[in-house]
Amino acid sequence: MREVPFRPRATLADMSTLHEQVLAKLGPLIISGSLEPGSNVNLEWVQQEFGVSRTVAREAVQVLASKRLVASRRRTGVTVLPEDEWDSYDRAVIRWRLDGPERGRYLHQLSQLRTAIEPPAAALAARYADDRQRDRMVELGAAMESAGEAGDLTTFLEHDIAFHRLLLEASGNVMFVGLAHVVEEVLRGRTLHRLMPVRPKPEARRLHLVVAEAVAGREPEVAGAAMTAICVEVADEMGRLGGNGVPAR
């Protein structure tokens, strides 16, 4: 009997990695406009374009559909959807947009969103945060000041993310908490794409300390006003970038 060469089956982990690789290429093609709204991305095309199995292609398309980047219909197949249909709050969609040609414009819009949600969240946190959260806010504010003064952007970023996530959590409003990942992606995106100053601005660091101390001291008006100043400054800076993505100095 002729021996048949052994070919190991693809594991679930392998398939997951493959479909993530397809998504990492296909998602940005849609976001950038390389695949225009109305374009067909049926399974056969995905298989041929990325050299994957039908199962992997189907999983990738299903994920894109869940993010509203494509729609699957019986007669028309899988079709790329226009921008106004996309799930703008999806973490991957945010990242792909920040990697795309409209980075400056999108960062400006995200910064405007922050201006709408973080000041009232700060005021609520000053009213409703528990003692542990109040103490932690002050600790994070001090840690940001130390890392910022040292010019350690990596450490500063992690403290900054933790600070803003805790602020939203301490507000006690689940709708605000649900947007914590959006704020995180904005902060990461600015640093990743070198849109942060080499050394975080002293005024911005000071305002974070003011917010932290106002939350700890149960001063909602002060917390809200300081957070407004932080968010407006960032939104104005992102607005000046326009669509060119020029690094801040």
Domain boundary among 85, 119, 136: 85
**Does a structural domain hold residue 249?**
no
Q: Identify whether the C-beta of residue 177 lies closer than 8 Å to the C-beta of residue 118.
A: no
The tens digit of pLDDT for each residue in 111-154 reads: 999 999 999 999 999 999 999 999 999 999 999 999 999 999 99
Do 103 and 209 belong to one domain? yes
Domain boundary among 66, 85, 104: 85
Confidence of residue 237 (pLDDT cuts 50, 70, 90): confident
Q: CATH number of the domain that 207 lies in?
A: 1.20.120.530
How many CB atoms are located within 10 Å of the residue 69 CB? 27
Do 40 and 99 belong to one domain? no
Structure confidence at residue 155 (pLDDT): 96
Distance CA(120)–CA(171), nearest Å, equals: 8
Distance CA(23)–CA(173), nearest Å, equals: 33
Confidence of residue 239 (pLDDT cuts 50, 70, 90): confident
Number of domains composing the chain: 2
The tens digit of pLDDT for each residue in 36-89 reads: 999 988 889 899 999 999 999 999 999 999 999 999 887 778 999 999 999 999
Structure confidence at residue 246 (pLDDT): 45
What's the pTM? 0.84
Do 39 and 98 belong to one domain? no
Q: Which domain holds residue 103?
A: 91-241
